[in-house]
Structure 1
Amino acid sequence: MTAHKDQSTKPPKTRLKSPFTTLSLIAALTMGVAVSACSDDRPKSPVVKAADDGITLDKDSIMTVKMSKYQPSFAFDGKIIPANHASLSLDTAATVEHIFVNAGDDVSKDDVLLSYLTYLESSPSEITALHAPFDGMIHTIFAHADEHYDAKTPLVEIYDISQLKFISHLSSALMDYIKLGDAVTFGIDGVAHVGQISQVNVNEQNPQLIEAHVIIKPNPDEKPKDLLGRRVVGHIDYGQIQVGVMMPRRAVYDRQLNILALDGFDEPPHKPDAPIDGYVWVVKQDHRLSLSPVKILEYHPKTEQFLVQGITEDSLVTTATLPKEAHDKQVTVR
C-alpha cells in the first residue's frame, strides 16, 4: 500500500516503447491500467498531452477487431416494370366501335377489350373483337370509340404483372461477374426483396453498356400493381468470399471526423451503391495512433456496426473520439 500512496502524487504512465504482437500490445495496455488503478480522477475521455507528444486513452476505448466474412457485391438500379407486356394493334385499318375496359382494369386471357369495324373490298364490313392475349392489367388505352385507325396503330397496352422486373444499365466490364440465375437483393420502401437475373444484353446504342434484367416476385402482402414504377437499388454478389472488420458505428468517421451518417445505409439491404470512404483510429504496432482510411461496405442495424475493409486482423482500434492532431501520437494508458 505504501507504493500506491507514493504514486498517487505522481500518477504513473505506461509508455509503450517497442513493437509488440497484438497480444503483447493488449497486455501492455492492460498493465498500464492496472498499475494506475488507485487513482479516482482518471480522465474518461482522451486528452492530448502536448508536453510529451502523446495521448491518453481509457482502457475501455481500445479493442481488438472482429473479423467477418462477406460477399463482394456491386449495386445496380432500375424502375419496376412488368416482366411481360404487349402493345395491341390490328393488321388492317379499322374503326373502333366500343371500348369495354378502362386503364387499370384486371383482365383474363381472351377477354374482349374492344370491338371494331373493318372495311375490306373483298368482303362486307363486319364487327370484330380485340381479345386480351394473356391475364394481366390494362395499362394504357390509346384508342377512342368511333375513331378510325390505320393498320399497326397501337390501340391498347396490357401488362402481365404476375412477374415484375427492372432493367439496369451497367458497365460492360462487369459482364464476367453477371450470370443468369444470380440472386439480387434490394429494398422497396424499407422492405427487403430478392430478385434473379433473367437476361443480359449488350446495349444496342452503346456497346460499353450492358442491360441486366432482374425478375422480382412481390411479397405475399404486396399488390404487384402498387410496385409498378418504383425506383429500386439492388446488389449482386460477385467474386469470392472476402474478410472485413466489424466496427462499432461510433468508431467510424467521415472526412470531417464526424461519426459517419447512415445516409445510404438506413434501408435494406443496408449497403451503399458503392463502398464509401471512411476513417478509423488504429493503434499501430509502434504504439502510435493512425487515422487509417477504410472502405465502408455495409451496416448491421441490429448491432449498430459497420463492416469495413482496410484493417488487418491483428490491429487494435480505439472507439474514443479524437482530434485530427492525434494522428501519429504515442499512446499512453492510465
Structure 2
Amino acid sequence: MSGLVTACQPPASSANNEVNGAKKTPIIIDADSVTMTPEYILDVKPSRYQPSLGLQGKIEPIQQAQMTAAQDLQIQKVLVTKGQWVEKDTPLLIVQRQKLDDSIVADTASSNPTTETDSAALVSSKPSADTQTDNSNDQESTLQEVVNSKNTTQPITIRASFSGRVDNVYVESGQHVGARERLLHLSDDTDLRFVATLPIQAESQLSVGQNVNFTAPGMTDKFTGQVSKLTINRQIEQLLVYVHVVKNEASRGTLKPNVIVTGRVDYGQIEVGTIVPKHGIHDVDLTEIQKPPYRPLSPLTANVWIIKQDQRLTRQPVEVIEYDPSTGQYLIAGVSNDSLICLVNLPPESAGKKVVIS
C-alpha cells in the first residue's frame, strides 16, 4: 500500500539552485511546499533614498530664430557671416521683393520677433507646429511674419530683434530665393535650456523652480538647471519639462547647443527601500543602471520572490531604484519590512506554496 500511495503522488521538482554563480543545496518543490536551506533567504535590509525622476534632452538656445522667405525675394546683400555675434537691431540682410505683396520674411523657429524693416512694420504670429521653443518668459513657440506696411519693391533691411549669434547663413548676395526657402538662423547661445519628456502622470511630482542636476557625455563637470515650464503635449501624450540651464562657472563656455544631457530632479519625501543582490531580482535587464549615474532614466520594474509572514511564497513586483557599484547590489522599492526575500528564481507555480526550511 505504501508503495502504491507513493507512486500516485506528483513527483517533486528542483528549482535552479545556482546563486551568484555558485551551486547551492538543491531546492525541492512539491505539491504544497518549497523546501530550501537558509542560504536562499535574505532578511530585508532597509535603506533610505530620495525619490527622483530622470530627465534627458538636447541643449539648445532659449532664444532662436530660423528666418525663411515668405515670398520670392532677391538678396541684395548679406551683411553678416556665420559665427558672427550681432547686437539687437544689427542689419542682417538687404532684400527686395519680386512682386507687390505684403509678406517679406517668415520666422519659423522663433522665440521673439527677430526681424524688422527700415519702414514701419506689423508683426503677426501663430503657433508653429514644427518647433518647441520658448523665450526667456517661457512663451510658446511662434511663427512670426514680418509685414511691410508700404507696398513697395524698394530694398528692405532686415534687422535682428535680439542679440545673438549667426549660426547659419543660407543665402548669398545677388541670389534669388523662392517662398519658404531658408535665409538665416540666429540664436542667443549664452542662455541655454533642454526639454525632456516624461509620462503625463509625473506632472503632479514636479513644479516650476525645482533644481535639476545633470551631466553631459565626456565632461566631468556637473551642471545645474531649474524647471522653467511644464507643458502637456497631447499629440505625443507626454509631459514636456523645460529646464533652464543656470549660468555659472561650470556651464559658461562649456555647454554647447546640440549636446545630449542627462539629469535628475528630486521630488517628495525620503522613502525606504531594500538592498538586494542581483540574483534576487528577476524579469529585468539591469545593464542600463550598471554605469553612471547608476539610476534608470525611466522607472525600471522587476519581480522578486517574497516569503510572507504566513511562510507562503508570492511573486512581488518592485521598482529598481539604484545600483551601488562598490557593493554590486541594488536598491529596490516595493517590499515591506515584515517579509523575507527568496534569492532564487522559482517557477511560477511556486506562488502560494509554503516555505519549509531544511
Equivalenced residues, count: 278
Q: Is the 8 A contact 2:33 2:354 kept in 1?
A: yes
Letter in 2 for 1:242: E
Offset, 1:181: 0.9
Q: From 48, 57, 63, give the equivalent of 1:84.
A: 63
Classify 1:96/1:269 alpha carbon distance in 2 versus 1 (closer, same or farther; 3 Å): farther
Aligned partners of 1:252 and 1:278: how far apart in 2? 7
Classify 1:49/1:169 alpha carbon distance in 2 versus 1 (closer, same or farther; 3 Å): closer
> Which sections of structure 2, spanning at least 5 residues, go unmatched?
1-21, 98-118, 120-149
Match of 2:46 in 1: 67
Local SS of the residue matching 1:224: coil
Instruction: Write out aligned runs for 1:1-334 (5 A).
Output: 45-49=24-28, 53-59=33-39, 61-87=40-66, 95-102=75-82, 105=83, 107=85, 109=87, 114=92, 116=94, 130=159, 133-136=162-165, 138-147=166-175, 155-170=183-198, 173-189=201-217, 193-201=223-231, 203=233, 210-216=239-245, 219=250, 223-225=254-256, 227-228=257-258, 230=260, 232=261, 234-254=263-283, 260-319=284-343, 321-324=344-347, 327=351, 328-333=353-358
Local SS of the residue matching 1:303: coil
Q: Is the 8 A contact 1:170 1:212 kept in 2?
A: yes
Q: Is the 8 A contact 2:319 2:333 kept in 1?
A: yes
Aligned partners of 1:195 and 1:323: how far apart in 2? 45
Deviation digits for residues 112-153 of structure 1, max 9, x if unmatched?
675536699999x789685684243x3222332113579998
Aligned partners of 1:318 and 1:151: how far apart in 2? 68
Letter in 2 for 1:295: E
Offset, 1:45: 0.8
Match of 1:7 in 2: none
Classify 1:298/1:106 alpha carbon distance in 2 versus 1 (closer, same or farther; 3 Å): farther
> Which sections of structure 1, spanning at least 5 residues, go unmatched?
1-42, 255-259
Q: Is the 8 A contact 2:74 2:174 kept in 1?
A: no
Match of 1:32 in 2: none
Aligned partners of 1:98 and 1:228: how far apart in 2? 26
Classify 1:216/1:248 alpha carbon distance in 2 versus 1 (closer, same or farther; 3 Å): farther
Letter in 2 for 1:224: L
Q: Is the 8 A contact 1:55 1:326 kept in 2?
A: no
Q: Is the 8 A contact 2:49 2:272 kept in 1?
A: yes
Deviation digits for residues 259-305 of structure 1, max 9, x if unmatched?
x4324324444333442332223333344544433222333333322
Aligned partners of 1:275 and 1:115: how far apart in 2? 50
Aligned partners of 2:340 and 2:60: how far apart in 1? 48
Deviation digits for residues 183-229 of structure 1, max 9, x if unmatched?
234554376654311123455x759765431123594597433x515
Q: Is the 8 A contact 1:99 1:144 kept in 2?
A: no
Aligned partners of 2:151 and 2:308: how far apart in 1? 92
The normalised TM-score by structure 1 is: 0.63
Match of 2:144 in 1: none
Deviation digits for residues 15-67 of structure 1, max 9, x if unmatched?
xxxxxxxxxxxxxxxxxxxxxxxxxxxx96131235895423254x5332222
Local SS of the residue matching 1:195: strand
Aligned partners of 1:202 and 1:316: how far apart in 2? 41
Local SS of the residue matching 1:197: strand
Point out the more displaced range, 268-277 or 125-134. Answer: 125-134
- Percent identity, please: 27
Letter in 1 for 2:288: G
Classify 1:69/1:135 alpha carbon distance in 2 versus 1 (closer, same or farther; 3 Å): same
Match of 1:19 in 2: none
Classify 1:169/1:94 alpha carbon distance in 2 versus 1 (closer, same or farther; 3 Å): same
Classify 1:201/1:292 alpha carbon distance in 2 versus 1 (closer, same or farther; 3 Å): closer
Classify 1:163/1:306 alpha carbon distance in 2 versus 1 (closer, same or farther; 3 Å): farther
Offset, 1:239: 3.2
Aligned partners of 1:144 and 1:183: how far apart in 2? 44
Structure with max Cα Rg: 1
Aligned partners of 1:130 and 1:183: how far apart in 2? 36
Classify 1:189/1:302 alpha carbon distance in 2 versus 1 (closer, same or farther; 3 Å): farther
Q: Give RMSD over aligned pairs.
A: 4.5
Deviation digits for residues 141-190 of structure 1, max 9, x if unmatched?
23321135799986321222223222245565544433111123455437
Classify 1:57/1:67 alpha carbon distance in 2 versus 1 (closer, same or farther; 3 Å): same
Aligned partners of 1:45 and 1:330: how far apart in 2? 17
The normalised TM-score by structure 2 is: 0.59
